Amino acid sequence: MLIDLHAHTSGISKCCKISAEENIRLAKRLGFDGLAITNHYTSQYFDSKTYGDWIENYINEWQFCVKLGKKYGLRIFCGIEVTMNEDDRLHMLIYGADSDFLLNNPCLCDMSLPQLYGVCRKNSCALVQAHPFRNGTAVQDTGYLDGIEINCHPLYKNSFYEEILKIAGDTGLAVTAGCDYHADSYRAYGGTFLPDTLTTDSDLAEYIVSANRFEFQIHDPTDRKIFRIEYSRGQALKS
């Protein structure tokens, strides 16, 4: 099944121009089998006084998306995209988190990467660096990452898929793919092919942490071509 592992909804992500319902309906119409809802988790949206109310909305949006997924026949996974305060260009995707994870960890943005990775390990979540190379960001210390993402966001003109697969091949990291859809350009048709048997957020996290083989559909913003790639963990891309 083809799952776009990076999607936003306007209920939480202020930069996103499409509602959860419109986004889920569109993904279904285009032929996706599922989405991971990875709304922005950024200290721009809350402070220590407002975190409780804000995170309640964040969790409600997850649950709303899961309900809509059932209505429209689309599998919905609940993820997070954390903006790191040490460098706000650095965004980290977390898969496998639940509401307790969010309620018990109110300052994910303030953490260093090793701290964030430690929290993810403790809670059996997968930590993936979103869109490496965007805005000049480097791949971070791969000892504190489970994976790196190929991002098909049309506004950024380059998915950097070759660079990402090279680093993953050298380091043994997992690779995921998603479109980072915000409704600000065409709806890219990229994602990660996952086994049908994978149904829960924990299944998804475990898959990212431990699977040996990954397959993607890339919708490359450079030339708008759509193509498939297979990657085996720790192996160079065959050309």
Residues making contact with Zn ion (CB under 5 A): 81, 91, 130, 180
Q: Minimum distance from CB of 130 to Zn ion (Å)? A: 5
Q: Minimum distance from CB of 134 to Zn ion (Å)? A: 7
| DSSP letter assigned to residue 116 | H
The answer to whether residues 66 and 15 touch, using CB atoms and an 8 Å cutoff, is no
Spell out the alpha helix ranges (H) of the chain: 20-30, 51-72, 99-104, 113-122, 161-171, 201-210
Which of 193, 226, 228, 211 lies closest to 33, judged by CA? 193
Instruction: Closer to Zn ion by CB, 60 or 135: give it.
Output: 135
Instruction: Closer to Zn ion by CB, 130 or 208: give it.
Output: 130
Instruction: Closer to Zn ion by CB, 6 or 75: give it.
Output: 6
Q: Minimum distance from CB of 157 to Zn ion (Å)? A: 15
Instruction: Closer to Zn ion by CB, 44 or 199: give it.
Output: 44
Q: Minimum distance from CB of 162 to Zn ion (Å)? A: 20
**Cα separation, 203 vs 140, whole angstroms:** 25
Q: Minimum distance from CB of 159 to Zn ion (Å)? A: 14
Q: Provide DSSP, 182-228.
A: -SSS-----EEE--TT--SHHHHHHHHHH-SEEEEEEE-TTT--EEE
**Within a 13 Å sphere around the CA of 121, how many CA atoms are in the beta-carbon half?**
10
Which of 225, 155, 163 lies closest to 190, judged by CA? 225
Instruction: Closer to Zn ion by CB, 22 or 169: give it.
Output: 22
Phi, psi of 69 (to 5 degrees): -60, -40
Q: Which residues pair with 213 in a beta bridge?
A: 232
Residue nearest to Zn ion (CB): 91
Q: Minimum distance from CB of 187 to Zn ion (Å)? A: 14
Instruction: Closer to Zn ion by CB, 75 or 91: give it.
Output: 91
